[in-house]
Every structure is written in C-alpha cells, then in structure tokens.
Structure 1
C-alpha cells in the first residue's frame, strides 16, 4: 500500500521533512528520517535526505503501511517521552528546524576543550541531522551530568537562545540524589561561591530554589531550580550544606565511599522557555542507573510533576 502527493507551487523550496509535518501531521522527526533512508518515502521515485528542498510538481510517495495508518489517523499525539529515538551517543527528545533537544548521557562533554575524546558538537557535526547546517552550543551541562540539553541549528537561533539564558528566561529543573537527610523540605540557597581563574580568586553569587521530593535517614532526592548559572553551582551548594551528591568525587561531604554507583547522581530533568509567545517544555527521562540507586535507597519519584 502507498499514497502519493504532488507538491504545489506554494511549497516550492521547502524542506521535505517540514512539508511532511505540515501536510500530514506531527510526525516524529526520527520516523521521517528512518522512512527516507529506507526508501519508504521517496521523491520522484528516488531516495532523498530530510534536508532535500522540494519543488513544484514533485511527486512524493509513501510506501509504508504503518506510516499510512498513522496518516489516516489524522491526529498523532505524543509527548517528549515517547518521541525519543536513538541517535549517535545520545537520545533525541525533539528535532525541529531551529534546534534539537537531547537527553545527554553522563560522561560525554558538550564541546571540545576537555580531556574527553568525545563531545556532542563533534558527534553531531557528522550527523545527518546537521547535513545542511552545523550545531551551536547555547548553554552548559557538566560532562558527568545527564539530562536535557539544547543545540541550535543556525546562528540566529543560537543568538536568541543564548540571550534567553543570559536574561534568565530559560527555567531549568535538576534532580539529585544526595547523602543524608535534608533538614528542611524546601527553601532557597544563597551562596558566595569561590572559583579561581588563572590563579585569581573570584567570588560569585549563587541562588537556587530547592524542594525535597523524598528522603530518609541516609539519603534524599532533591529537586533544584537554579536562578543563577555558576560553574558546578548545585554540586557546590549541596556540598556546602553537608549533603553532597552521590558519585561526586570533587565535592564530597562524606569520606566514606559506598561502592554502589560510579555515576554522578545529578540529572537535568526539565527545561522551559518561550519564543514568540510559544511555550516550550521538555523533560528528560531518568537514566537507568539513577532509578536503580533510587530503588536501593528506597526513594520514590512518583510525585514528580
């Protein structure tokens, strides 16, 4: 079974993946690209890439029964959690014309300049996703921190997103599993954090709003919303209150090492921002090792929003 479409003049020079979404519905980018690569979607009987610019009178054929079923459903509803597809080293939560949203794995750097041999920018430079553009990093996420991360596809979007971060109009939520039981269930940390740049001591104001999701006598699951964006801010602040994050070998409140995990238990869970009055909200699923430690520590995250 297949279905054919003829491109009209109003869509001339439009990317084929955009045309598919506009014409058929909100099809996940991963499904579009997979169908193009396998030849289940062809233009003028030829395989093409998602970046192909369609022309008036192009014939687009869909040779995919499952895809055809989704077309006939008309409405295709999905949330970021069930749109996730595998791509290179990381999970893609969303992929649109201007930016991609990733669930970054722990242990991989965002860009070069570290001791890490692999980084996201270099990986995605070689990806088909950026076949006609290049990735732009617009914010930071520590190498050992997992979770939601944005990369812009063009300079204009990169400048816009960078400005939103600088103006604190991007709202991020982190989750951490830390040692010990926090005394207060919610509150705000205001610290003077110290760092050194070429031997020069620099003191920076750091502010974070936090809430305890669950806790017991030996550990806590904490939700944190940083207002400022200092280097290692959340790790330092939890260390300062005597409740360092499990797996943090740099900022340790406890000398005793428990050999049940190696990864840093810090996860960028959610990100929110607005562009031209349109709200964007993305959540990154918890890594398996994070959920495993929650189970070991008998902590629940079922009441996460």
Structure 2
C-alpha cells in the first residue's frame, strides 16, 4: 500500500472530470475501487468531499488515500491501421506544438460509462513525427463537429490550457436553428446550471443568485434565413459552459436543428434534413505556445452542407464577429 499523497492539479488538467483525472494518474485503479474511496470521503478536493463527475481546477489539491499496489500500468489498446489513417485524415493544422482536427459529429472526445470508442483512446495514432502522445486541451460535445486542438508537448498543453482558462481563446460556431432569432444580432446572457446525473446530465437556465448557477454569455448573428422556418447563425461563446450554445438557443425559442436533447420535436424541421446535430465549431484563434497567434478554420461537415443546399443558403466567406481579422 502506498501512503497518503496530495497532488496539485496541473494547468493542462483544468476542467477534467475527477474520475478521469484518477484514470490518467492511476490507470490501475478500478472504477469500483475509486467509487468506494469517494463514497467514504477518502478522496478530497481542497479538503472537501468529492464526486466522480466533479471538475478539477488548476491548482486544486487532490488528496489521494493509500492505494493497493496494482503492479505495472496496463498497456494502451492498439489503434487499428484503418482507424489511424482515418484520424490522420482529420488533421487540418500541424506544427511542432499543436495539432488541429476537424472532428466529425458522432466521435466522442473522451470515454464514459457507455462510451468505449473515443478520441482520447486513439491518440497514439497522432504522435506522427513527434515524441509525445498528444494531449487534449479542450472538448467538443460528441455530436458537435469542427475544430479541436491537441497539444503535442507538455509545455504546449500548459500554454494552451492557460489561453482557454484566461478566455484568450476566441471561437466561432455555425449552426442551423429553427425559426429566426430577433433581433438578428444580439447577446444571450443566461446563467446555466447542471441537472440530472452523470449518465443523463443537461443544463438549464438558472437565476444568477442560484449557488449552482454559472454565468454564461453567447453572442449571435443571423447570417441567412429561409422565411420564418429556419436560420443559419454564427455563434461566439464568451464563456465555455457545458452545452452552452445548445441550451442558450433553445432558451430563446430557436433550438439547433437535430438537438432533440434541448429542442425536442422543435429541433426537427423536415424529414429531408439529416437528424444529426447542426452545430459546427467553425474556427478558433488563440495565442500560439511559441509566438504569435494560431488561427484555425474547419470546413462544414457533409450533413450541414446538404442542409444548407436544401434551404438555399450559401456558405459565408467572411467572419461576422471579425475574430479572425489580422
């Protein structure tokens, strides 16, 4: 048995679920064993009891109780040659410090109780000409497509994590929504809080005085509309809450097409449109780990292109928020 240790959450780990933090540091510790340690209060976050789904923050102290000696770390599962080629085809930017992928809708970024196939489990295929396994520095929902950044070194992970935490990272999303927001450009300032359990969690609008609420702000601009039926919108989140864009658009009565979780039946416009979520991380800009700024844009997925064609929309060539202007 090892003794009690206290570990400090690293910048690159900011926002990680506590159970995944343990998996990264103690891969031999089983899920059931961790649950028992948490239930009995042996694991603490800054001295307080914790749950598996709690998010750790940079600088937090994690109390790790004595753990049974479990032998060597298990080997990572091999990535098939087919999956490796597929993942490498998703790369849209590559330098010594950063990889950027155009993540397809349907690919989970990290694993969970019901998710066995995910990007985090296949990152060995993206070592490429580097020496280290790439690291996740932010996340996208499983059903959201678009730009996803990976750090190729530990120092790059620290720098990128700082950019996200300090809100230096500026992001633009494209979405197709039901109806047409009024006014055609505006800001949604609606705090959000999580409800439900880890396997079926969602966020809802909350009063700012609610202790569980987190501030959430989204800017939006209508790019085009098909009468009153649907609109093509650009979204720029000033904050990075879970499901923020999906919850905010549903809250103002214009759910994102394909988002049954937040829009229900209103998220379906026509049987002619693909039922996949119509939300795409179009672009991101932030400080590059070495110098200057990194700017990455991702092309729309096929299901959104087909929907744009069906509704008679053109793909815009400019950035309405001027985030990517030199």
Same fold (TM over 0.5): yes
- Whole-angstrom distance in 2 between the partners of 1:101 and 1:233: 22
2:301 is equivalent to residue 292 of structure 1? no
- Whole-angstrom distance in 2 between the partners of 1:261 and 1:186: 27
- Whole-angstrom distance in 1 between the partners of 2:255 and 2:211: 23
What is aligned with 2:254? 243
Give deviations 1:39-83, integer Å, cap 9, x for gaps.
xxxxxxxxxxxxxxxxxxxxxxxxxxxxxxxxxxxxxxxxxxxxx
- Whole-angstrom distance in 2 between the partners of 1:150 and 1:169: 14
Rg larger in 1 or in 2? 1
2:186 is equivalent to residue 187 of structure 1? yes
- Whole-angstrom distance in 1 between the partners of 2:221 and 2:262: 21
TM-score normalised by L of structure 2: 0.63
What is aligned with 2:236? 225
- SS for the counterpart of 1:252 is helix
Q: After TM superposition, give the deviation of residue 288 of structure 1 in Å.
A: 1.3
- Whole-angstrom distance in 2 between the partners of 1:304 and 1:254: 32
What is aligned with 1:269? 282
Contact 1:121 1:135 (8 Å CA) reproduced: no
Say if 1:196 and 1:278 are closer, same or farther in 2 by CA, change over 3 A.
Answer: same
- SS for the counterpart of 2:158 is helix
TM-score normalised by L of structure 1: 0.67
Q: After TM superposition, give the deviation of residue 197 of structure 1 in Å.
A: 7.0
Q: After TM superposition, give the deviation of residue 140 of structure 1 in Å.
A: 1.2
Q: After TM superposition, give the deviation of residue 253 of structure 1 in Å.
A: 5.8
Contact 2:176 2:256 (8 Å CA) reproduced: yes
Cα RMSD over matched residues?
Answer: 2.3
Stretches of structure 2 that go unaligned for 5 or more consecutive residues are 1-83, 199-209, 320-326
Say if 1:292 and 1:114 are closer, same or farther in 2 by CA, change over 3 A.
Answer: farther
Q: After TM superposition, give the deviation of residue 155 of structure 1 in Å.
A: 1.3
What is aligned with 2:293? 279
Equivalence map 1:40-55=2 (5 Å): none
Stretches of structure 1 that go unaligned for 5 or more consecutive residues are 1-85
